[in-house]
Amino acid sequence: MNIDIKQFAALQKASKESFFEQKKLLKQVMSGRTVPCSICKQPLKLYTPEEGVLTGIRCAKGCTDIALDFA
């Protein structure tokens, strides 16, 4: 399987944009802002180790589910 330079550049650009969008979303939720899920529009909630559940950011329906490791 061969991938040309233009396809690779487009993939890199899409990955970079996705990374920065998720980083922005994480910052907003962790700072206490209300951020709606992009699919169901319910607010995203931060789950920390103190809550005794899997850590991460999720909506009530589970459309958005970002796992986080807390050190």
Residue 71, pLDDT > 80, answer no
- Structural domain of 49: 5-67
Total structural domains in the chain? 1
- Residue in 40, 33, 32 with CA at minimum distance from that of residue 64: 40
CA 41-59-69 angle, to 5 degrees, is: 140
Q: Over 80: is that where the pLDDT of 43 sits?
A: yes
Could you read off the pLDDT of 32-41 as tens digits, one per residue?
999 999 999 9
Per the prediction, the chain carries an average pLDDT of: 91
pLDDT at 1: 62
